Amino acid sequence: MSSTSGPPGAGAGALELAAAVRSGARTARSVVEEHLERIASREGDVHAFNEVTSAEAVEAADAVDAAVREGRDPGPLAGVPVALKDNLCTRGVPTTCSSRILEGWRPPYDATVVSLVRAAGGVPIGKTNLDEFAMGSSTENSAFGPTRNPHDLGRVPGGSSGGSAAAVAAGFAPLSLGSDTGGSIRQPAALCGVVGLKPTYGRVSRYGLVAFASSLDQVGPFAGSVADAALLYDAIGGHDAHDSTSIPRAFEPTSPELGLGADGLRVGVISEMLDGSLAPGPDVARRVSAAAEALAAAGAKVDEVSVPAANYGLSAYYLIAPAEASSNLARFDGVRYGLRVDAPTTGEMQRASRTAGFGPEVKRRIMLGTYALSAGYYDAYYGKALRVRTLIVADFAAAYERFDVLLSPTSPTTAFEIGAKSDDPLTMYLNDVYTIPSNLAGHPAVSVPFGVGDDGLPVGVQLLGPALSEGTLLRSAAVLEEAAP
């Protein structure tokens, strides 16, 4: 069953809607109701959400309208519906991470990014589906069933933030938030034909993001356009005293840089990510070459660059991320959160709760990580992976001496069929081979749609930059958006 029904996402962009609401030309209430209607008509097919928070959204919209009536500016996201990945804490609203183990849990506080969305006048509209605890690349590892790609309901939306990507692609919300530990914003953005930005590690607060791998996790925006992605990023970026890894430095908004073009920009096409053992499908490779040509036509100086250690990113990631996950997920013990399966002793209760509460991929990661950290194996696995991570940082540093921005595919293929890779974890892991290196380095990267593959489905290309280069990345992405077929 693969019914193709086109990029559904039609509807006004966030910038346009916020301008209309701020000026009083439209009410936030009407904007929210329009999006709730779209959700009602197609959510049954797409399943982007774990929960649509309609009542709260209407209430928030009314507060925005009241502000406008009273002559107060509600902020840059005035009345814009924003879908939130369901691993972001929302006060009083279930936050499940698409896992049974969090069943019934309602956080007593909002994640900082959620508070910032509200403070900017944005309207949270629901919690989006994900791979359980953000572990996966297809949103099939959800305890609540898969999300489907709005471009072709027989295919995956990518993952783990598949619900957030699909929500924007389907027009359910002009903006959404996801989290990216190894590619979970960029890869679904590519597969759903939307823009997705993973910011620099520490630039967006992770306070209230349920941790997967704390040295890699980062929150970031999805949007239908580069300008809309910049709008949301500018609203959520900056230092947060609640997150000890947050960068204590003033935030520079990216939106003012968007029109600067690519003239004189030095762009390196990562050779390891275009040919050799990591080569993408030929149709994806052609789109990357076309993107390089488009940047050159806009005045960029384009050349090839080698980032040799990128070859080992995937292997290092699958030791570091599970190691951190095995530690982070120890807190789900049947006592502190959600699900408890009773048993005669505490130990048996914990075992029963975790056995019933976690799905197979989460259990696999916990076991891999515990093994990688165990005495006797620590040096050979975890220690070695950390050394590879250092090599990756050094190789990127060398590349950024010669280039401002690097270019690669986001994902090896377009969206694959639901079920095609779910029995083969290794094949699934390969989806993130181009996205993982930036997480290991802590650098920002953006995926921007750039045409379609042989099957007519969206292809995304990835732009990578050094720490805090979000402005340059979004500005380059805007050039590609302009040139996209």
Q: Which one, 88 or 262, has the nearer CB to ligand GLN?
A: 88
Tell me phi and psi for residue 292, to 5 degrees.
-60, -40
Nearest to 361 by CA among 440, 421, 312, 437: 421
Which member of 99, 138, 142, 160 is catalytic?
Answer: 160
Decide: is 234 part of the binding site for ligand GLN (CB under 6 A): no
182 binds ligand GLN, rule: CB under 6 A: yes
One-letter identity of residue 390: T
Work out whether 316 is an interface residue with ligand GLN (CB under 6 A).
Answer: no
* Interacting residue with ligand GLN among 95, 98, 129, 137 (CB under 6 A): 137
176 lies in the binding site for ligand GLN (CB under 6 A): no
85 is catalytic: yes
Comparison of 39 and 284: residue with beta carbon closer to ligand GLN: 284
**Nearest-angstrom CA–CA distance, 76 and 255:** 12
In the complex, least distance from residue 216 CB atom to ligand GLN, rounded to whole angstroms: 8
User: Looking at 27, 96, 184, 200, which residue binds ligand GLN (CB under 6 A)?
Assistant: 184
Per-residue string for binding with ligand GLN, 5-44, x by CB under 6 A?
A: ----------------------------------------
Which of positions 193-212 make contact with ligand GLN (CB under 6 A)? Answer: 212
Residue 404 carries which DSSP code?
A: S
Q: What letter would DSSP give residue 376? A: T
Residue 225 annotated to the active site: no
Specify whether 476 is catalytic. Answer: no
Contacts of 193 (CB under 8 A, 6+ apart): 7, 9, 151, 169, 449, 457, 458, 460
Q: Using the rule CB under 6 A, which residue among 98, 181, 254, 469 binds ligand GLN?
A: 181
- For position 328 contacting ligand GLN by CB under 6 A, the verdict is no
- Which among 113, 239, 118 has a CA at the least distance from the CA of 179? 113
180 binds ligand GLN (CB under 6 A): yes
- From 184, 353, 447, 469, the catalytic residue: 184
- Where in 142-161 is the site for ligand GLN (CB under 6 A)? 160
Q: Binding of ligand GLN at residue 110 (CB under 6 A)?
A: no
Three-state SS at 321: helix
Is position 99 an interface residue for ligand GLN (rule: CB under 6 A)?
A: no
* Cα 257 to the center of its chain, rounded Å: 22
Would you say 29 or 389 has its CB closer to ligand GLN? 389
Q: How many CA atoms lie within 13 A of 184 on its CB side?
A: 30
Instruction: Tell the smallest beta-carbon distance from residue 245 to ligand GLN (Å).
Output: 17
Strand partners, 221: 177
Residue 305 β-bridge partners: 270
Any contact of residue 136 with ligand GLN (CB under 6 A)?
yes
- The footprint of ligand GLN on residues 210-229 (CB under 6 A) is 212
What is the contact mask toward ligand GLN in residues 414 to 433, using x (rule: CB under 6 A)?
------------------x-
DSSP 452: E
Q: Contact with ligand GLN (CB under 6 A): which of 82, 175, 267, 321?
A: 321
Residue from 13, 81, 183, 453 touching ligand GLN (CB under 6 A): that is 183
Q: Phi, psi at residue 225, to the nearest 5°? A: -145, 165
Q: Is 129 in the site for ligand GLN (CB under 6 A)?
A: no
Residue that the structure tokens 């359980």 belong to: 132
Indicate left, alpha or beta for 104 from its phi (over 0: left) and psi (-120 to 50: alpha).
Answer: left
Question: 332, 316, 445, 337: which is closest to 389 by C-alpha?
Answer: 316
What sign does the dihedral 280-282-287-291 (CA atoms) show? positive
Q: How far is residue 199's CA from residue 219's CA, in Å, rounded to a whole number?
A: 7
> Tokens representing 333?
């013990």
36 or 143: CB nearest ligand GLN: 143
Q: Are 203 and 250 in contact (CB under 8 A)?
A: no
Catalytic residues: 85, 160, 184
Residues that bind ligand GLN (CB under 6 A): 134-137, 160, 180-184, 212, 321, 432
